Structure formats: C-alpha cells, structure tokens
Amino acid sequence: MTLSIWRYSHLILAVSSSLFLLVASITGVILSVEPINNKLQPYSISNAEGLSLAETLANINARYDDVISVSQDQNGFVSATVIIDSKNESFYIDPITGDKLGPIIEKAPIYQFATNLHRSLFLKTPGRLFIGLASLLLFFIAVSGIVLIAKRQGGIQRFFSSVVRENYAQYQHVVYSRIVLIPIVILALSGVYLSLLRFQLIPETFITHEIDFDNLQEEPLLDYTNFELLKNTPLSELRDIEYPFSEFVEDYYLIRLKNKEVLLNQYTGAPISEKKYPMVTLASEWATVLHTGQGTILWSIVLGLGSLAVPFLMFTGFAVYFKRPKTNIKNTVPKEKARFVILVGSEGGTTLQYAQLLHSQLLALGKKSYLAMMDDYTTFKSMEHLVVITATYGQGEAPSSAIKFETLLKKHIQKQPYHFSVVGFGSTSYPHFCEFAYETNKLLQTTPKANALIAQVHTVNDRSFEAYTNWATAWGNLVGLNIRLTKPTKLAEKSHKSPFIVLEKTEAQDMIDDTFLLTLKNTNGAQANSGDLLSIVPGSGEQERLYSLGKLDDNIFTISVKRHPEGLCSNYLLQLEKGTTFSASVVANKNFHFPKKAKKTVLIATGTGIGPFLGMIRSNSRKNEIHLYWGGRTEDSLKLYKPFIDNALESGSLTTFIPAYSRTQTEKKYVQHLIKQDGEQIAKVLRKKGCVMICGSIAMQKEVLNELQSICNRYLKKDLSFYQNRKQIKMDCY
Ligand SMILES: Cc1cc2nc3c(=O)[nH]c(=O)nc-3n(C[C@H](O)[C@H](O)[C@H](O)COP(=O)(O)O)c2cc1C
C-alpha cells in the first residue's frame, strides 16, 4: 500500500474517533491512578506468600469462630468474611496472625464517575458500543502509525533510529509515538476484547461441576489441616475459598485457585470435582489486568502514560496535518497547448509550493505553462520544456505523487522533441540525498525525444529558497526568460533582525580567489553558535542570502564570503566599511553545531566552507582532537585563513591541518583524495563515536560522501547511513 493511503487511513481513523478517544484517554489517565492508590494501601503482608492454604485457614480459624470465606485480590491483599455477633463482616486480615487490618476498599466517587464515562459515556449500551469501536479504531490508528514510522525511517529495522526534525509537531509526534505505541496497542486490543465480552460476542463460559452425591464418604475422617490440596497449595495461588455451608457431607469447600476450581469433601479432604478454567476465562482476566493495570503499579504507570500520550499525539498529529501546505492545482492552460510542463513529485506539499512559484511566473510572463503531479504524466502535444521538481522519501524512494512516473514515462512517448531539467528537493540529513531526483534524471536521459537542458540535477537542501531561485534564474537564462522568483511570505521564516557592526574586513585588494573575511559584532546579543546561519537581505524586495557563522568570541562572529561579479549580497558586504552597522538575522542550524561529546572530530571543507570551522576550532578550549581537511585552488588561497590556522595549531586547538590544492600540480588534488588517503584514521574516528563535519559545495559533498561510504564499507563493515543516523556525519553544503 502506498504511503499516502496509510497516511490518509491514519488521519481518517483519528478524525472519526477523536472525541471518543479524547474522553476515553482522559478518563483512562484518572483510572490508572486507582490501582496505584489501592496497591499502596497497607494490607500487604510480607512473608505471607510462603504460607500454605492449610496454614492460612488454621490461622484465621483460630481467631474467628465462624468463617464464611477467605479471598485474595489482585493486589495480594487477603480478606475474610466472618460472622461476628450474628453479623457478616468482611475486612482485610493478616493471614499470619489473623488480625483485622482494615475495611475493604470502596471505589471512590471520582473513580466510579470516570469508570462509567470510560466504559459507556453514561449512554449505556450505545455508549459501550461507541467506546468499543473507538478502541478498535485506536488499534488501527496505532498499526497504521507503526507502518508510517517504519516507512519514514526507511524500514522496520531502523524504526528506532534518530528522527530527522522537520518541525516541532512532526518531530514530537514521531518520537513520542514510538515510545508509547506498544502500550497503546495493548490498551486498544484489550479494550476491544472487553467490549466483545460485554456484548457476548466472545461467549463467557462458566464451570459446572457434576457431583455424585450418593457416593460422598465421611470416612476416613481427616482434619482440614491434613487435606492434601490445602497442605500443598501456597496462598499465592488462592483467589477465594468458600467454607461448607453446613455439616452435611453434601456441603463442601469451594476453592478457586488461579487456574482451576476444586470442590473438597469437608470430612475426608478428597477432591469431589476439579475443573480447569476455560481459556476464555483466563484470557478475560489477562485482558482486564492489561487494560486496567490492577495489582501492578508499574503497568498502571505505563498505562497512565500511554493514555496521557493519546491527546498529545492527537494534538501533534492534527498540527502536522493542518501545517501541510495545500496542494490543489488550477491550470488555466490546457495540457495539449502547454509549451512548458512542470511536473512535481511531492508528499508533504512544499515542493509543489515551490513549483507553483515558477508556474505563476511563467504565466505572468505570458508563457503557456501547465503544472501537474508526476503521476499525471501523459502526452503533452505542445511541450517544449519539461521541468521535473521532486522530493525524495524513504530510502531514496519516490514521493507519493511520483510512484507511477517511471511506468507512465515509458507508456506515453512524446511525438516532438523537448528539453528537460530536474530539480531535487531533499535534505542532507537523510542518507539518500535527492536520490529520486537523480534516478528521474537518469530515466529521462534514456527517454526518446527527451534532451537534457541542464545535464546535472540541481539539488535543493532543506527547502532552501535561495538554492531554488538560483536554479530558476539559471534555467530562465537558458530558455531565454528573465525568471525572478520572490519568496512568498508563507515560506519566509520568522526571524528577528539584529544590528551587526563590521569589526574587520579583508580589503578588496587583499582578496584571494575573490574571497574575503568579515568579522562582525552583534550589538544586541542575539544568541548564535558556530554553524548557525546569518541571513542577510541586501536590499528591499531582495531574497535573503545565508552565510555560515564562525563564533570567535561572545557576540563576535566571522563569515567567509565569495564575491560573485554580479552578486548583490557579496558586493554589498564587500563595500561595507569598518564600523558600519547593518541588519541581519540569525537562523539556528542545530544539526550543524560542533558535537559536544565527541573526543575526535574531522572537519572537511572547501573554499568559504571553512567559515564555521574557524569558530569551532577557536572554541575548542578542551583541546579535543580536531583534524581539518581543506580544499582550495593554490597555496595562496589559504592566505586569508593561514594566521588563524597557524595560531590554532600552535595553541593545540587544532591537531592537524591537511590541505588539498587543485591547481598547484598537474594532477588535481581535491579533499576527497585526502579523505581516501586517510581512510583508516577517519574510520577510527567514526568507530570511537567521533564526528565528521562537511561544509562547502554540494559537488564536493557528493564526492566526499562517496569516499566516506567506501571507508565505512572497507574498515567498519557498516553503511554510511549508520553513522549519519547517529549524527556522526554532519553536513551543511550549498
Ligand atoms: C519521512 C521522510 C523521508 C525523507 N527521506 C529523504 C531522503 O531519503 N532523501 C532526501 O534527500 N530527503 C528526504 N526527505 C526530505 C524531503 O525530501 C524534503 O523535506 C522535501 O522538501 C519534502 O518535500 P514535500 O513537502 O514536497 O514532500 C525525507 C523527508 C521525510 C519526511
């Protein structure tokens, strides 16, 4: 079944049962306190479990003349019903001394109220039916939830591997449901069972004894303390024992043990009848204990927490659904007439939102653009340009709107030639970054009539609007259109601007490879760490640009900037004078913070990617092992950072610095070559729970990841994803 079917089933089940589940779970939390409260009453006697039934009865009979019955409840509390002054009295007793301990616990009104609401909503039979159905739906919700988590995590074997955080509600929903799913499944199933029992859909069977009254003997007479069964059965096995009603031989001891019922001749102690409880009875008891937690504090707490989690999961689950972008598409141009066809592979709807920006812009430019999902692929008679924009899910799999794309692509061969371009939306936090986009690109390359406009897939990490718009502008140039996408407010992050003062700046004449460093002081104390991003908007109506921050001191940061000849932001930053104040905001990038616990870290960067690492190395006051691999063009390229690196090596905050220069020798050397060369040492870092951090271009990231994968295969016999999931590989590439 496809992911979307599971997701919709999960949602519909949750919506249809939400009110009942809310009532049942809140009352369930209240009811989970009752068994804990009961169990904590002082009626449990240590050492009593070792007593035999014969000893227990002897102790009680010695204290009371007329005993009617002795019982033991789920808490292990022993009670007796005796006649005192011609009146029946029931109370808890000490089975060793026979002392009266206290009155039988009565259900407090709050528990009585909660029980009625929980079982039947005070609606008697219809209420019981609703609650029974809600339990069944809860079971299906839990099962579909398990499937969804397994799919999201990339297989059941990775069920408990770390969850990629996309937003608060989604993260909490997945993390907490993994913890409470098992108790919820048990609660739901036992609830269904108890409802079926109540409606007699599971027939309750009762024990009936056949007694041969004519053959009951009074000889050989034995004292009850010598009855075999009473002597050999421990008290812990007892549920209750009813004494003979009279001295007639036809009256007997009725003994209910945990697994059977026995009738004992009161004179000889011979069993008159012995019957094991039927499976249904035992199953019903188990269902009751599992559902109510009676008799165990630990299970009651688990059930209480499970019940408490239900409203929380409902809340976060609905939040996930309502936060999901709307995905309805309205086309004004019929597909037969469209020159531009944009196909989207999306699951959560964000990719579609981005695609809609391009579609609207094309329409605004008077172009015939048609927007559809990848699974709507068909014959497009006038198509000249196909743009496929797709997310990746699972382990590099298609999102739900692109599952049939491959089949459809082979089925509907276009008559006219056309150009195609593929944009991949994904996240470098997942092991198979944008893999489905790469596969789609490969597929299109072998499709008749399809010609690549841009051979490479353009990847967009973590919905970076900047990365997307860069591609859109480049694509527009190739097709002769001036595409300038503007970030819709709904995609804009809410960030608070702070004033930053320029403390230091590489002078234009000192720039190497068009790169310069800016040292900035934040004057109103916005908190940031190395690896967080500085968002700068170079002019009103312009898109933000993000720069990775290196924290040099409290409120002092550095950014490493590559000037692009036409780059609005890089040129804006370059012309800032020392002492100038400008406005920017900090965007948290928690996944790219220096690891707190790792003793050894490998940092890999090219060009300006070194920026955040400068801050991380500076903060390494504990002198943990840090190895920095850096790729630049020539030795000259290092000039900007050299004083810093030399200083760090001298102070011990950096252990080794290994550069790769691509233009100093005839044979080009890149960081991935260094990684390959030092594979064994890097494997050791990963094995010792150390961390590898990568910052720089996506192209470099791809090569380095390939090398890391080979290192993991060769030295560690594990897939790279194993370390990615443990956050031992951290990346921030652009
Ligand atoms: C369950 C799940 C699995 C994902 N798996 C991958 C993956 O394997 N590779 C990748 O690059 N991105 C992966 N992503 C990230 C998405 O592709 C990315 O967030 C994308 O922007 C989602 O677009 P959509 O909202 O249009 O579906 C995954 C996201 C989720 C929620």
Superfamily covering domain 340-487:
Flavodoxin domain (3.40.50.360)
Mutate-to-test residue for ligand 1 from 327, 344, 347, 702, highest number of ligand atoms within 8 A of CB: 347
Mutate-to-test residue for ligand 1 from 153, 165, 393, 465, highest number of ligand atoms within 8 A of CB: 393
**How far, in Å, from the CA of 391 to the mean position of ligand 1?**
6
Q: Report pLDDT for 497.
A: 79
**How far, in Å, from the CA of 603 to the mean position of ligand 1?**
26
Which residue, judged by its Cα, is nearest atom 29 of ligand 1?
393
**How far, in Å, from the CA of 394 to the mean position of ligand 1?**
8
**How far, in Å, from the CA of 616 to the mean position of ligand 1?**
29
**How far, in Å, from the CA of 316 to the mean position of ligand 1?**
19
**How far, in Å, from the CA of 444 to the mean position of ligand 1?**
21
Token pair recorded at residue 529: 């760490």
Q: Do domains 340-487 and 595-734 have the same CATH topology?
A: yes
Q: Report pLDDT for 2.
A: 61
**How far, in Å, from the CA of 536 to the mean position of ligand 1?**
26
**How far, in Å, from the CA of 563 to the mean position of ligand 1?**
32
ipTM of predicted assembly, 2 dp: 0.98
Which residue, judged by its Cα, is nearest atom 22 of ligand 1?
391
Atom of ligand 1 nearest to the CA of 392: 17
Asked if residue 135 lies in contact with residue 192, where contact means CB atoms within 8 angstroms, the answer is yes
Atom of ligand 1 nearest to the CA of 325: 25
Number of Cβ within a 10 Å radius of residue 233: 19
Q: Is beta strand 729-733 parallel, antiparallel or unpaired with respect to 656-661?
A: unpaired
Which residue, judged by its Cα, is nearest atom 4 of ligand 1?
393
Distance CA(274)–CA(44), nearest Å, equals 29
Which residue, judged by its Cα, is nearest atom 31 of ligand 1?
152
Which residue, judged by its Cα, is nearest atom 24 of ligand 1?
348
Phi first, then psi, for residue 55 (nearest 5°) are -65, -40
**How far, in Å, from the CA of 514 to the mean position of ligand 1?**
35
Could you tell me how many residues make up the chain?
A: 734
Atom of ligand 1 nearest to the CA of 459: 11
Please state the domain extents for the chain.
Answer: 3-39+109-204+286-322, 42-104+225-276, 340-487, 493-593, 595-734
Distance CA(654)–CA(494), nearest Å, equals 36
Mutate-to-test residue for ligand 1 from 175, 327, 392, highest number of ligand atoms within 8 A of CB: 392
**Amino acid (1-letter code) at residue 478:** L
Sort residue 154 into left (φ over 0), alpha (ψ -120 to 50) or beta: left
Distance CA(532)–CA(120), nearest Å, equals 53
Cα dist from 393 to 87, 347, 432, 468, whole Å: 73, 8, 9, 19
Mutate-to-test residue for ligand 1 from 166, 351, 430, 725, highest number of ligand atoms within 8 A of CB: 430
Contacts of 715 (CB under 8 A, 6+ apart): 679, 680, 683, 687
| Orientation of helix 124-153 relative to helix 109-120, angle to 10° | 80
Which residue, judged by its Cα, is nearest atom 15 of ligand 1?
426
Atom of ligand 1 nearest to the CA of 463: 21
493-593 CATH, one of 3.30.2130.30, 3.40.50.620, 2.40.30.10, 2.60.40.650: 2.40.30.10
Q: Classify residue 731 by burial, with Cβ atoms within 10 Å: 0-12, 13-18, 19+.
A: buried
Among candidate residues 698, 681, 549, the one with its CA nearest the CA of residue 610: 549
Using CB distances shorter than 6 Å, the residues near ligand 1 are: 152, 166, 346-351, 391-396, 399, 425-427, 430, 432-435, 463
Walk along the chain (734 residues) in steps of 10 and give the mean pLDDT of each run: 74 86 94 94 88 96 95 95 94 95 94 94 91 94 92 80 76 92 95 93 88 92 96 96 95 96 96 95 94 94 95 92 76 96 91 94 95 96 97 85 93 96 86 90 96 88 80 91 76 66 89 91 83 85 81 93 87 91 86 89 95 95 94 90 94 95 80 94 95 88 89 88 79 80
Look at the block and give the residue holding tokens 């090569």: 703
**How far, in Å, from the CA of 441 to the mean position of ligand 1?**
17
595-734 CATH, one of 2.30.130.40, 3.30.70.260, 3.40.50.1820, 3.40.50.80: 3.40.50.80
CB crowding 473-512: b at 16 or more within 10 Å, else e: eebbeebebebebebeeeeeeeeeebebbbeebbeeeebb
Cα dist from 407 to 401, 424, 530, 586, 703, whole Å: 13, 20, 46, 45, 31
Among candidate residues 164, 130, 159, the one with its CA nearest the CA of residue 145: 159
Q: Is the pTM of this model over 0.90?
A: no
**Amino acid (1-letter code) at residue 285:** E
Q: Report pLDDT for 303.
A: 95
**How far, in Å, from the CA of 392 to the mean position of ligand 1?**
5
**How far, in Å, from the CA of 163 to the mean position of ligand 1?**
12
Contacts of 726 (CB under 8 A, 6+ apart): 162, 689
Q: Is 82 helix (H, G, I), strand (E, B) or coil?
A: strand
Cα dist from 26 to 11, 117, 561, 729, whole Å: 20, 10, 55, 42
Q: Is 419 helix (H, G, I), strand (E, B) or coil?
A: strand
